Structure formats: structure tokens, C-alpha cells
Amino acid sequence: MNPETEKTLTFFGKMTANLTHEVKNVLAIIQESAGLMEDITAICPLTEKKYQEKFNRSMATIKQQLHRGIDLTTQFNRFAHTPDRASAELNLVDTVGQFCLLTERFARLKHIGLTAGEPPANERIRLTTNPVQFYMALFFSLESCLTALPADTEIRITPQKKGGKSPAIEYACTGDHLPPAEEFFQQLQAADAWSELREMIGQLQGEVECDTNDLRFWLIF
């Protein structure tokens, strides 16, 4: 990555990290204010039961959405710090989990499910790499899958050790409406994002391996 690009990414990272910190402060205020309302109605419930029930339901939704917002901003704050270092040791289980949380909406818009898979026996898989480029490789892989898959299918991204030793990321596509493997890989490889992935994986000194029988492929490092 050239120094100008690095500078730009660092700038965007700093601005984004600052903003997510501010958003968390907003969420903290909403959380405490909602909590205070709940405390007050616990001491002095509303006179009509049906309104108290509506209040409780509404409060439950606020709390649920607050947790969602806190989760998203926490993960996005971490993501915003990725340009801080040109090389870092990544815990691939955490990284894939974070990636799926932040990109799930791209899949949802196409009615495709996205989940982070667990490696066997909760294995710890670590990789020292350029974090931004690694995220980009994950994203280009996802984008390629989203181009090649129809609605009502599922993408599962799982960190694992390929051949028992090389850190790898598996993309496995499942569902009742899957296209034939040949068609899937044709569309996958025709996607613009796939060319970007090839270039990025080369820069990361990794490789892509496809299982043409089972709609799976791996990024191997």
C-alpha cells in the first residue's frame, strides 16, 4: 500500500473512531435515561395495566435496540482502528465475527443469510498480516458470493487451519435454492470483486482454493 493511501486510511480511521466514540456516549445517555424511566415505573406503576404493559414492551424494544447499537458501534470502533498498524496479529475468530456483524446488512438486502462459523473445538487461529488488506480480502470474497448467489441462501464464513496448519478462511454456501456448482463458480469468477480478491490475496501472499463440488472456497495464508 502506498504512503498516500495509508495516510488517507489513517485519517478516515481516526475520524470514524472518534465518531463511534461519540455515538457510544449518545447510547450511554439513552440507556441511562431509559433505565431511569424503568426505575420510576417500577416504584410507581402506571394506573392502567394495559398502558403499563405497552410501556414495558416499548422499554424492552429500546433496550434490545440499545444492545444492538452498542454491539455495532463497538465493533465498528475496532474496525476503524485497523489502519493504525500496517501489520498486526489478528485473532481470526474475533475478526470474522466482527466482519460478519458489520457486513450482515449487505447480505440481508439480498435476502441472503450471513453467519460466522466456529472453528473445530474452539481452536485459536491467529495470523499476522495487514489488517486493512485482510478485511478487504474478506469483503471482496463476500461481494463475489453475493453476486453469484440467489435469494434465500446462506453464506457461512469460518476461520480454520487448512491441512492442519495454514490459517484459512472458508466461505461455504448452503441453502435449498443453490445454483449448480459450475454455474456458481462461473458467476463468482466473473464478478468484479473476484478480480479484486485475486489481486488482494496476491498482495497478502495468500491463495484462493475452490471446491467445485461443494460451493466452498478458502482464502489460505
Partner 1 sequence: MSDPTAILLVDDEEEFVSTLAERLEIRGFESKAAYSGDQALSLIESNDYDVVVLDVKMPGMDGLEVMNHIKARRPEMPVILLTGHGSTKEGMEGMHKGAFDYLMKPLDIDELISKVQEALGSQPKSE
Enumerate binding residues for partner 1 (CB under 8 A): 21, 24-25, 27-29, 31-33, 35-36, 39-40, 43, 66, 70, 73-75, 77-78
Say how far residue 138 (Cα) sits from the centre of its chain. 9
- Kindly state the smallest distance separating residue 40's Cβ from partner 1, in Å: 8
Instruction: Give yes or no for a contact between 107 and 155, defined as CB atoms under 8 angstroms apart.
Output: yes
- The answer to whether the Cα torsion of 101, 103, 109, 112 is positive or negative is negative
DSSP E strands in 57-200: the ranges are 88-91, 112-116, 126-129, 153-162, 166-174
Which is nearer to partner 1, 24 or 216 (by Cβ)? Answer: 24
Instruction: Give yes or no for a contact between 119 and 159, defined as CB atoms under 8 angstroms apart.
Output: yes
Which is nearer to partner 1, 1 or 36 (by Cβ)? Answer: 36
Question: What DSSP element (H or E) covers 29?
Answer: helix 3-43
- Kindly state the smallest distance separating residue 25's Cβ from partner 1, in Å: 5
Which is nearer to partner 1, 33 or 212 (by Cβ)? Answer: 33
Placement of cell 465475527 in the chain: 97
Which is nearer to partner 1, 17 or 132 (by Cβ)? Answer: 17
- Kindly state the smallest distance separating residue 111's Cβ from partner 1, in Å: 31
- Kindly state the smallest distance separating residue 165's Cβ from partner 1, in Å: 30
Nearest to 125 by CA among 84, 94, 171, 80: 94
- Kindly state the smallest distance separating residue 61's Cβ from partner 1, in Å: 17
Nearest to 210 by CA among 178, 190, 176, 182: 182
* Cell numbers found for residue 176: 435449498
- The residue count of the chain comes to 221
Which is nearer to partner 1, 24 or 156 (by Cβ)? Answer: 24
- Kindly state the smallest distance separating residue 144's Cβ from partner 1, in Å: 30
Which is nearer to partner 1, 65 or 212 (by Cβ)? Answer: 65
